[in-house]
Amino acid sequence: MTELPAPGARSQLLLEWLGVVTAIAYSLLVASNTGFEFLGFVLLFISSLAIGLWAHRGAHRGILLLQFFYAAAGLIGMWRWYGG
């Protein structure tokens, strides 16, 4: 007999991997210095939202706190990129 996943398990998995993939893409875009840094900062912000929601739902308090700083870094990066 196949066991059904816990309610919300699929959305948690989606949030976790969305956050991971967007963070990897952010890192590569910013490190490559190819002019796509703004997109990288957008991806960092998306990653922090996804992982932050995942952490909140899973009661991972330390990871949640870290995501607030990553979100701030993404916003500051976007703002500074356009001369703010």
- Would the CA dihedral through 60, 21, 12, 4 be positive or negative? negative
The residues spanned by each domain of the chain are 19-81
Cβ distance 51 to 23 under 8 Å? yes
* Spatial separation of the C-alpha atoms in residues 76 and 84, rounded to whole Å: 9
Share above pLDDT 70 across residues of the chain, in percent, rounded to a whole number = 92
Please report the DSSP string for 48-80 in residue order.
HHHHHHHHHHTT-HHHHHHHHHHHHHHHHHHHH
* pTM for the model: 0.88
Q: Read off the pLDDT of residues 57-79 as tens digits, 9 standing for 90 and up.
A: 999 999 999 999 999 999 999 99
